[in-house]
Amino acid sequence: MADTIAKKNPISDFMAKRKAEKPPKEPKMSRKEKRERFKKRMECLTPAEQRYLRRKQFTDAVWPVVRALIVFGLCFIILYPLLYMISAAFRPRADMNDPTIMWIPKHVTMSNIKDAIVAMDFWKTLKTTLVLNIGCSLVQVVTTAITGYGFARYKFKGKNILFFVVIMMILVPPQIILIPQYMFFRYFDPFGILGLMGKEAISFIDTGVTMYFPALTANGLRAGLFIYLFRQSFRGLPKELEDAAALDGCSPLTTFVRVMVPNAGATFLTVFLFSIVWYWNDYYVSTSFFIDNQTIALKLKNLDANLTRLIFDGGNVQVNIRELIVWMEAGCLISILPILVLYICLQKNFTEGIARSGLTGM
């Protein structure tokens, strides 16, 4: 069916004819002929133009080689710790003292990984981290997108002052406001409502509320930066989009969900990735608001102590600093693995789409 249509199509007919009429290819020139032709062409040019062309020829030949060297070198520097991590995580501790071993261990063992899993109580920790940190980061992406959209697309009184608050959120170090925040959660009584009703303040310390509540109101980790990113990217979309949607009878919320969000895919991806990474690696907030919180970042920070307690029999097994590396690197490996896998899956969209993520245009 498709074929018959294509045959009847006058344009494709025309194209076929033109193809047939195309002159035959010129025979390939030898290198010598080419050089002569280049010389002839050069003679027609002014000296300045000649200089320019020669210089360009030279840089075009040399630069790719230099660039390849630089890129390779820098890539190596970045990958070096990761390669070392993989190499160290799978070698037995004795191999650390063997000076002949640089990269490839003589014996491959899984015991370090197994020990690290036990010491970090990995599966339970992973579950806690997923529920708490990843959940929060997902919630935060949605709420910051809504806020960013409000700042990007609507004019209202006091917008500049409110946006100044957003900028302040980026600037103020979280350590400054930590204690008042702690007091807020410890004696939770928003605007004195509970006090009026004659009830005592509630303590939310050591519950998920301390992380979910800020995320739910677009005030979680680095929320200011995300709001800023979303605002920039929504501002870049054409104004006609929402006017058209409004004429078609979309409410602002439907416009946002069905017209704007699909157009800001790259930004969502970027913020999603950043948000997950920062929540995943966070131990500052979770140590402050929790008495004994078992997230991966925290467990990794305390890996030393836990290893001694659980694997080295409370210090009875002697392990020197060099040998300890194999367990530490194994712990690192299993803690970044989930994020690394996620990054590798999203990597193509992330790196190529980042140009349009609205970071430009201050």
312 or 350, CB closer to other proteins? 350
To the nearest whole angstrom, how small is the minimum distance from the Cβ of residue 144 to other proteins?
Answer: 8
**Total interface residues for other proteins by CB under 8 A:** 106
171-210: contacts with other proteins (CB under 8 A): 171-181, 183-184, 187, 190
Cβ proximity to other proteins, 111 vs 181, nearer residue: 181
Of 15 and 45, nearer to other proteins (C-beta) is 45
* Residue 257 is a binding residue for other proteins (CB under 8 A): no
Residue 219 dihedral angles phi and psi, to the nearest 5°: -130, 25
Exposed / middle / buried, residue 277 (Cβ in 10 Å: 0-12, 13-18, 19+): middle
Name every residue whose Cβ is closer than 8 Å to that of residue 29 and which is 6 or more positions away in sequence. 37
Core vs surface per residue 189-200: b (16+ CB within 10 A) or e: eeeeeeeeeeee
Of residues 110 and 183, the one with the C-beta less far from other proteins: 183
CB nearer other proteins, residue 111 or residue 281: 281
- Give 110-146 as a 3 state SS string: CHHHHHHHHHHCHHHHHHHHHHHHHHHHHHHHHHHHH
Which range touches other proteins (CB under 8 A), out of 3-11, 64-72, 117-125, 126-134?
64-72
Pick the closer one to other proteins by CB: 38 or 58.
58
Locate 122 and state its tokens: 């990995």
249: tokens are 């009878």
Instruction: Give the shortest CB-30-to-other proteins separation in angstroms.
Output: 28
Strand partners, 202: 188
**If binding is defined by CB under 8 A, does position 295 make contact with other proteins?**
no
Site for other proteins in 119-158 (CB under 8 A): 143-144, 146-147, 149-151, 153-157
Q: Is 78 in the site for other proteins (CB under 8 A)?
A: yes
Give the DSSP letter string of 182-239.
HHHHHTB-GGGHHHHTT-PPBP-TTSTHHHHHHHHTT-STTHHHHHHHHHHHHHTS-T
Q: Which two tokens stand for residue 208?
A: 């998920």
> Of 115, 120, 204, 331, which lies in the binding site for other proteins, with binding defined by CB under 8 A?
331
User: 297 with 152: CB under 8 angstroms?
Assistant: no
Write the binding mask 79 to 118 for other proteins: x where contact by CB under 8 A, - elsewhere: xxxx-xx--x-------x----------------------
Listed ranges 12-20, 114-122, 130-138, 211-219: which one lies at the site for other proteins (CB under 8 A) = 211-219
